[in-house]
Amino acid sequence: MENIAKLQDYICEYFEKELSKFYSLSVWKDVLVALRQAPKNGEAFKVFDRFGDAFKVRQMFVDVQASNDAWAPTLSIEYDWKIKESKIGVRIIVVKDKVLYVQLLDMYSVVKTFDEKYDYVKEFEKTVVIMKAVRG
């Protein structure tokens, strides 16, 4: 399970860096509006669909987190990560402009398929990070 925890940390750091390049309150507002307008909700997906076929947006939710008279824009993005013949669901929770956490969905079937000693970080670098860098 240590490799899975490393992968979650790696994705969290990677997305924090990627989001810092383009994500802002105005982007959040645009995504909020696009998701509320059914024919245009694909426009919202395009904002975060930057990683090629190996890492595609599955669904998104926009919300507001409120506490002690303050509010913060929140965003939940779910991706399908193609890894060999499988797909791993990855949920990324963003509050304000920070990645709060990364959750890997259905890891039981993933570990059953690849085993817990599999180098998931290396696979993520190969299928997502390097491919995005090649595309620019």
Q: For residue 130, tell me if it sits in a domain.
A: no
pLDDT digits (tens, 9 = 90+) for 43-91: 888 889 888 888 999 999 998 887 776 888 999 999 999 888 888 899 9
Quote the number of domains for the chain.
Answer: 1
Report the predicted TM-score, pTM, of the whole model to 2 decimal places.
0.86
Q: For residue 135, tell me if it sits in a domain.
A: no
Q: Please determine, for residue 1, whether its predicted confidence score (pLDDT) is greater than 70.
A: no
Q: Which residue has the higher pLDDT, 102 or 4?
A: 102
Q: For residue 128, tell me if it sits in a domain.
A: no
Q: Where are the beta strands (DSSP E) in 7-105?
A: 55-67, 70-83, 86-95, 98-105
Q: For residue 8, tell me if it sits in a domain.
A: yes
User: What is the maximum alpha-carbon separation in the chain?
Assistant: 47
pLDDT digits (tens, 9 = 90+) for 93-120: 999 889 999 998 887 777 777 777 888 8
**Domain range enclosing 107:** 2-121
State the chain's mean pLDDT as an integer: 86
